[in-house]
Amino acid sequence: MRMMWLAVLLTGVLTRAAPERSADPYVGHIVVDGVHGDVLLEDKADVVMYPASIVKLMDLLLICEMIQRGERSLDEMVRVTAEASLIGGSQVYLKEGETFTLGEMLNALVIKSANDVAVALAVHTAGSTGAFVMRMNERARQLNMTQSVFRSVHGLPPGKDQEPDVTTPRDLAILCREVVKYPLALKYTSETFRMFRNNSFELRTHNYLLGKVPGCDGLKTGFFSLAGFSIAATALRGDLRVIAIVGGSKSRQTRDRTATELIESGFIRLEALERERRDARERAEREAAERALREAAEQAERARARRARIGWTVAVVVLFIAGAAGVMALRQRIRRPRNGFEMDL
């Protein structure tokens, strides 16, 4: 009986965790403040979805962190393995034995969303795709991406007997907030065009918001038929950054239109929130200044009272000493001998 209930429970969990297929206009979305993480807008932000190629943002994050720690450099050479050369989908047609710099590979990973490059980088930096996937999931746990499970380094549809990558719009927003902390990452996500393999292969972005939405500098798109069209988009205007996630749209046009509208609405909300924050800061500063003045006045009053007490104490002591001295002088005068006789009181 216990085993039966356990099976029912596990079945329920798996059912709830199954990713949603593409929908019109989307499976779910969320918009957050890219700096503080406040949620500005959301609709079904916790629905489980296929991230598709957006998983490459985790690849990018891990490699940027390796570079920051000094474990890797953009100039080091990456050799293509047989495994990488056999990956399909969006690719740059890597051949076994070819070598490229890590920087060149990152261009192809992010701009072209090259699946073969994702595998090559995983093998190069972790020894195998399996080891790299373990790092992806470990980092997701550290970031509190509680509904995300990575099973590939590229986000392609799962093969036979394989499980898909799963995430939620909310989890992707967490990942994006971490990615935008790295100027190096934004350098790649903001590029729309690059040449590859000795200028013989063009890399063109799939993010059509770049150059169209003011301030847009990333981040990543994803697509396969079951998952639909998804995007993790961000824009920076002044000191304000908005991150918008749109998951599982039926069409690219709907996805991009929705993301554009969400970014614009997000900035309106964020500007209002910033005004509230500024007013709160100013109010707190005023209250702190008033409190400081009150404390200073209270300290001054306590100091004045203390000085007064000391003054009275000194006066009393002086009077006491003076009185005692007067009594002693009087006693000595009275006790002074007269005509050879000493008067004794």
- Evaluate the CA torsion angle 187, 190, 191, 197 in order and state its sign: positive
Q: What is the pLDDT along the chain (345 residues), one digit of tens a residue?
A: 344 334 333 333 433 468 999 999 999 999 999 999 999 999 999 999 999 999 999 999 999 999 999 999 999 999 999 999 999 999 999 999 999 999 999 999 999 999 999 999 999 999 999 999 999 999 999 999 999 999 999 999 998 888 999 999 999 999 999 999 999 999 999 999 999 999 999 999 999 999 999 999 999 999 999 999 999 999 999 999 999 999 999 999 999 999 999 999 999 999 999 998 888 888 888 888 888 888 888 888 888 888 888 888 888 888 888 777 777 777 777 766 655 555 444
C-alpha–C-alpha distance, residues 164 and 133, integer Å: 13
In this predicted structure, what is the pLDDT of residue 320?
Answer: 82
Burial track 44-57 (b if 16+ CB lie within 10 A, e otherwise)? bbebbbbbbbbbbb
Q: Is 264 helix (H, G, I), strand (E, B) or coil?
A: helix
CATH superfamily of the domain spanning 17-283: DD-peptidase/beta-lactamase superfamily (3.40.710.10)
Phi and psi at 181, nearest 5°, equal -70, -15
C-alpha–C-alpha distance, residues 44 and 76, integer Å: 42
Q: Token pair for residue 70?
A: 């000094």
Q: CB of 132 within 8 A of CB of 126? A: yes
C-alpha–C-alpha distance, residues 111 and 205, integer Å: 5
